[in-house]
Amino acid sequence: MDLNICHSYLPHTDPEASLRFYRDLLGFEVRKDVGYEAMRWLTIGPPSQPEISIVLYPPNADPNVTEQEANVVLEMMAKGTFGSIMLSSSDVDAAFETIQAGIDAAGGEIMSEPTDQDWGMRDCSFRDPAGNTVRLQQIK
């Protein structure tokens, strides 16, 4: 069996804020920008990995989700407890400095500075404008 990861999904609440964060701050390329009615789906990814993408989607896009369920999702997003993703870098400290310098303008928030972990990596974390947790790791 030959299986690969090609897409991962994270919700967004503001497509322009998401572009400022993922494209302008993190340097991801925009691969697709699809609109339907008042909603937008953004497919982004690192230029060095064209086969792997993140799809940023509007949390209210699924017609099977009730308004009450959508509100729970939005509340969890606001707390940073709904979506998350793990990124890696060969130099987490340098990447963190770049991110820290521009995160306020990009609508994000620093959660933790680079720290050596007992399980053999150095990592830090931050939140995107929608509240999704983004962890950045470097294997030591």
CB 34 within 8 A of CB 58: no
Find all residues with CB under 8 Å of 29, minimum gap 6, and list them. 23, 44, 45, 46, 47
- Average pLDDT over every residue of 76-98: 94
Predicted TM-score of the model (pTM): 0.92
What is the tens place of the pLDDT at every residue in 59-69?
888 889 898 99
Question: What one-letter code names the amino acid at 30?
Answer: V
What is the tens place of the pLDDT at every residue in 20-46?
999 999 999 999 999 888 889 999 999
Domains defined for the chain, CATH in brackets: 7-60+80-139 (3.10.180.10)
CB 51 within 8 A of CB 7: no
